[in-house]
Protein backbone atom coordinates (compact mmCIF):
# COMPACT_ATOMS: atom_id res chain seq x y z
CA UNK A 1 0.00 0.00 0.00
CA UNK A 2 1.36 3.43 -0.86
CA UNK A 3 0.88 6.56 1.22
CA UNK A 4 0.05 9.95 -0.26
CA UNK A 5 2.64 12.71 0.09
CA UNK A 6 0.13 14.74 2.08
CA UNK A 7 -0.48 11.88 4.51
CA UNK A 8 3.25 11.30 4.96
CA UNK A 9 3.91 15.00 5.55
CA UNK A 10 1.16 15.33 8.13
CA UNK A 11 1.65 12.06 9.98
CA UNK A 12 5.44 11.83 10.30
CA UNK A 13 6.67 12.39 13.85
CA UNK A 14 10.00 12.32 15.60
CA UNK A 15 9.80 8.93 17.31
CA UNK A 16 11.91 8.52 20.45
CA UNK A 17 10.64 5.16 21.81
CA UNK A 18 11.17 2.01 19.77
CA UNK A 19 10.34 -1.69 19.86
CA UNK A 20 13.17 -4.14 20.46
CA UNK A 21 12.99 -5.45 16.89
CA UNK A 22 15.54 -5.21 14.07
CA UNK A 23 15.00 -3.43 10.77
CA UNK A 24 15.68 -5.42 7.57
CA UNK A 25 18.49 -3.98 5.45
CA UNK A 26 16.16 -3.87 2.45
CA UNK A 27 14.01 -1.24 4.19
CA UNK A 28 17.07 0.86 5.03
CA UNK A 29 18.08 0.64 1.37
CA UNK A 30 14.61 1.82 0.31
CA UNK A 31 14.91 4.81 2.67
CA UNK A 32 18.33 5.74 1.32
CA UNK A 33 17.13 5.34 -2.25
CA UNK A 34 14.29 7.78 -1.45
CA UNK A 35 16.90 10.18 -0.07
CA UNK A 36 18.78 10.07 -3.37
CA UNK A 37 15.77 11.52 -5.20
CA UNK A 38 16.18 14.83 -3.34
CA UNK A 39 17.23 17.95 -5.22
CA UNK A 40 20.86 18.96 -4.72
CA UNK A 41 23.10 21.91 -5.50
CA UNK A 42 24.50 21.34 -9.02
CA UNK A 43 23.08 17.80 -8.77
CA UNK A 44 26.28 16.95 -6.89
CA UNK A 45 24.30 14.68 -4.52
CA UNK A 46 26.42 15.63 -1.55
CA UNK A 47 24.82 13.07 0.78
CA UNK A 48 26.66 10.05 2.14
CA UNK A 49 25.38 7.58 4.72
CA UNK A 50 26.95 5.24 7.25
CA UNK A 51 24.48 2.69 8.60
CA UNK A 52 25.28 1.48 12.11
CA UNK A 53 23.85 -1.63 13.76
CA UNK A 54 25.22 -4.08 16.34
CA UNK A 55 28.87 -3.63 17.33
CA UNK A 56 29.47 -0.57 15.14
CA UNK A 57 26.50 1.19 16.75
CA UNK A 58 27.71 0.22 20.21
CA UNK A 59 31.19 1.62 19.46
CA UNK A 60 29.62 4.86 18.27
CA UNK A 61 27.27 5.36 21.22
CA UNK A 62 30.03 4.44 23.68
CA UNK A 63 32.22 7.12 22.13
CA UNK A 64 29.39 9.64 22.08
CA UNK A 65 28.52 9.08 25.76
CA UNK A 66 32.14 9.24 26.91
CA UNK A 67 32.73 12.45 24.93
CA UNK A 68 29.57 14.03 26.41
CA UNK A 69 30.88 13.13 29.88
CA UNK A 70 33.98 15.24 29.20
CA UNK A 71 32.01 18.42 28.51
CA UNK A 72 31.60 20.80 31.42
CA UNK A 73 28.76 22.86 29.95
CA UNK A 74 25.07 22.27 29.29
CA UNK A 75 24.64 19.66 26.56
CA UNK A 76 20.87 20.15 26.20
CA UNK A 77 19.01 17.01 25.24
CA UNK A 78 22.20 15.10 24.33
CA UNK A 79 21.99 12.38 26.97
CA UNK A 80 18.40 11.69 25.92
CA UNK A 81 19.52 11.49 22.30
CA UNK A 82 22.39 9.21 23.35
CA UNK A 83 20.05 6.85 25.20
CA UNK A 84 17.77 6.78 22.16
CA UNK A 85 20.68 5.82 19.89
CA UNK A 86 21.77 3.15 22.39
CA UNK A 87 18.33 1.53 22.36
CA UNK A 88 17.25 1.88 18.72
CA UNK A 89 18.27 -0.93 16.32
CA UNK A 90 19.71 1.34 13.60
CA UNK A 91 21.54 4.67 13.57
CA UNK A 92 22.37 6.31 10.26
CA UNK A 93 25.19 8.84 10.26
CA UNK A 94 24.65 11.42 7.52
CA UNK A 95 27.57 13.18 5.87
CA UNK A 96 27.94 16.20 3.61
CA UNK A 97 30.75 15.78 1.08
CA UNK A 98 31.06 19.59 0.86
CA UNK A 99 33.63 19.30 -1.95
CA UNK A 100 32.89 22.79 -3.30
CA UNK A 101 32.86 24.45 0.12
CA UNK A 102 29.41 25.95 -0.47
CA UNK A 103 26.93 26.31 2.37
CA UNK A 104 24.20 25.19 -0.05
CA UNK A 105 25.72 21.70 -0.10
CA UNK A 106 24.37 21.17 3.43
CA UNK A 107 20.93 22.16 2.15
CA UNK A 108 21.04 19.28 -0.35
CA UNK A 109 21.75 16.83 2.43
CA UNK A 110 18.95 18.22 4.61
CA UNK A 111 16.53 17.71 1.69
CA UNK A 112 17.74 14.12 1.38
CA UNK A 113 17.17 13.54 5.09
CA UNK A 114 13.59 14.75 4.84
CA UNK A 115 12.96 12.32 1.96
CA UNK A 116 14.46 9.55 4.05
CA UNK A 117 12.27 10.36 7.07
CA UNK A 118 9.12 10.44 4.96
CA UNK A 119 9.93 7.16 3.23
CA UNK A 120 10.63 5.55 6.61
CA UNK A 121 7.26 6.74 7.84
CA UNK A 122 5.54 5.31 4.77
CA UNK A 123 7.17 1.95 5.58
CA UNK A 124 5.78 2.06 9.13
CA UNK A 125 9.18 2.91 10.63
CA UNK A 126 9.90 5.66 13.13
CA UNK A 127 12.86 8.03 12.91
CA UNK A 128 14.38 10.92 14.79
CA UNK A 129 16.82 13.45 13.34
CA UNK A 130 19.63 13.93 15.88
CA UNK A 131 21.50 17.22 15.78
CA UNK A 132 22.91 16.68 19.29
CA UNK A 133 25.84 14.81 17.71
CA UNK A 134 27.32 18.26 17.02
CA UNK A 135 28.25 18.53 20.72
CA UNK A 136 30.97 15.95 20.02
CA UNK A 137 31.66 16.85 16.37
CA UNK A 138 35.47 16.53 16.44
CA UNK A 139 35.47 13.17 18.23
CA UNK A 140 32.93 11.72 15.78
CA UNK A 141 34.94 12.98 12.82
CA UNK A 142 38.06 11.35 14.29
CA UNK A 143 36.19 8.09 14.95
CA UNK A 144 34.97 7.61 11.36
CA UNK A 145 37.90 9.27 9.52
CA UNK A 146 35.77 10.34 6.54
CA UNK A 147 36.80 13.14 4.18
CA UNK A 148 33.31 14.67 4.63
CA UNK A 149 31.46 16.73 7.22
CA UNK A 150 29.11 15.30 9.80
CA UNK A 151 25.57 16.56 9.15
CA UNK A 152 23.30 14.51 11.42
CA UNK A 153 22.51 11.14 12.92
CA UNK A 154 19.13 9.50 12.39
CA UNK A 155 17.57 6.80 14.55
CA UNK A 156 15.49 4.17 12.75
CA UNK A 157 13.25 1.57 14.34
CA UNK A 158 9.71 0.31 14.82
CA UNK A 159 7.75 2.88 16.85
CA UNK A 160 6.70 1.96 20.40
CA UNK A 161 5.19 5.38 21.10
CA UNK A 162 4.08 7.77 18.37
CA UNK A 163 3.87 11.32 19.71
CA UNK A 164 1.05 13.71 18.92
CA UNK A 165 1.61 16.47 16.38
CA UNK A 166 3.56 19.33 17.94
CA UNK A 167 1.99 22.75 17.40
CA UNK A 168 2.79 24.39 14.10
CA UNK A 169 2.77 28.06 13.13
CA UNK A 170 0.04 28.86 10.64
CA UNK A 171 0.68 29.82 7.03
CA UNK A 172 -0.18 33.43 7.92
CA UNK A 173 2.31 33.46 10.78
CA UNK A 174 5.20 32.41 8.59
CA UNK A 175 4.37 34.02 5.25
CA UNK A 176 4.11 37.40 3.64
CA UNK A 177 2.53 37.69 0.20
CA UNK A 178 4.02 40.60 -1.72
CA UNK A 179 2.62 41.90 -4.97
C1 LIG B 1 18.12 19.85 12.53
C2 LIG B 1 17.35 19.04 13.55
C3 LIG B 1 17.99 18.60 14.70
C4 LIG B 1 17.30 17.83 15.64
N5 LIG B 1 17.98 17.32 16.71
C6 LIG B 1 17.34 16.54 17.60
C7 LIG B 1 18.07 15.92 18.66
O8 LIG B 1 19.28 16.06 18.76
N9 LIG B 1 17.39 15.15 19.54
C10 LIG B 1 16.04 14.92 19.41
O11 LIG B 1 15.47 14.20 20.25
N12 LIG B 1 15.32 15.48 18.39
C13 LIG B 1 15.94 16.26 17.49
N14 LIG B 1 15.25 16.79 16.41
C15 LIG B 1 13.81 16.52 16.26
C16 LIG B 1 12.98 17.75 16.62
O17 LIG B 1 12.96 17.92 18.03
C18 LIG B 1 11.55 17.57 16.07
O19 LIG B 1 11.62 17.50 14.66
C20 LIG B 1 10.63 18.74 16.44
O21 LIG B 1 10.44 18.79 17.84
C22 LIG B 1 9.26 18.63 15.76
O23 LIG B 1 8.65 17.40 16.08
P24 LIG B 1 8.22 16.38 14.92
O25 LIG B 1 9.48 15.97 14.17
O26 LIG B 1 7.59 15.21 15.62
O27 LIG B 1 7.27 17.08 14.03
C28 LIG B 1 15.93 17.54 15.46
C29 LIG B 1 15.29 17.99 14.28
C30 LIG B 1 15.98 18.70 13.33
C31 LIG B 1 15.31 19.11 12.05
In a domain, 177, yes or no: no
Pocket of ligand 1 from Cβ distances under 6 Å = 13-14, 16, 77, 81, 128-132, 163, 166
| Those residues with Cβ within 8 angstroms of residue 152's Cβ, 6 or more apart along the chain or in another chain | 93, 94, 109, 113, 129, 130, 131, 133
In a domain, 169, yes or no: no
Closest by CA to 119, choosing from 156, 159, 81, 167, is 156
In a domain, 106, yes or no: yes
Q: Is the entire prediction scored with pTM above 0.85? A: yes
CA 63 to chain centre: 18
In a domain, 174, yes or no: no
pLDDT recorded at residue 2? 85
Q: Per-residue pLDDT tens for 62-121? A: 999 999 999 999 999 999 999 999 999 999 999 999 999 999 999 999 999 999 999 999
Q: Give the number of domains in the chain.
A: 1
Buried/exposed 147-157: b ≥16 CB within 10 Å, e otherwise: ebbbbbbbbbb
For 27-56, what is the mean pLDDT? Answer: 98
Which atom of ligand 1 has the smallest separation from the CA of 84?
11
The answer to whether the CB of 158 falls within 8 A of the CB of 18 is yes
Which atom of ligand 1 has the smallest separation from the CA of 133?
8
pLDDT recorded at residue 49? 99
CATH code assigned at 20: 3.40.109.10
Closest by CA to 119, choosing from 146, 145, 149, 154, is 154
The answer to whether the CB of 160 falls within 8 A of the CB of 17 is yes
Q: How far is the CA of 75 from the centre of ligand 1 (A)?
A: 15
Closest by CA to 31, choosing from 176, 143, 154, 146, is 154
pLDDT recorded at residue 1? 65
Q: If you average pLDDT over every residue of the chain, what do you get?
A: 98
In a domain, 175, yes or no: no
Q: How far is the CA of 121 from the centre of ligand 1 (A)?
A: 15
Mutation choice for ligand 1 from 130, 140, 151, 155, CB with most ligand atoms inside 8 A: 130
* pLDDT above 70 coverage of the chain, percent: 99
* Residue of the CA atom closest to atom 6 of ligand 1: 130
For 13-40, what is the mean pLDDT? Answer: 98
Q: Per-residue pLDDT tens for 147-156? A: 999 999 999 9
pLDDT recorded at residue 163? 97
* Residue of the CA atom closest to atom 10 of ligand 1: 130
In a domain, 109, yes or no: yes
Owning domain of residue 83: 5-160
In a domain, 43, yes or no: yes
What are the φ/ψ torsions at residue 158 (nearest 5 degrees)?
Answer: -85, 125
In a domain, 179, yes or no: no
Could you give the angle at which helices 137-144 and 54-70 cross, rounded to 10 degrees?
A: 150
* Residue of the CA atom closest to atom 23 of ligand 1: 14
Buried/exposed 119-140: b ≥16 CB within 10 Å, e otherwise: bbbbbebbbbbbebbebbeeeb
Amino acid sequence: MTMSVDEALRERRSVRAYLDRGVPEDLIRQMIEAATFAPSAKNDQQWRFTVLTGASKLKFTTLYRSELDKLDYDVGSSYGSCQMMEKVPVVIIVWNTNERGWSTEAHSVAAAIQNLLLKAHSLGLGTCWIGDVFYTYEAIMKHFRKPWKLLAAITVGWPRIVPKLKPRLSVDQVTEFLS
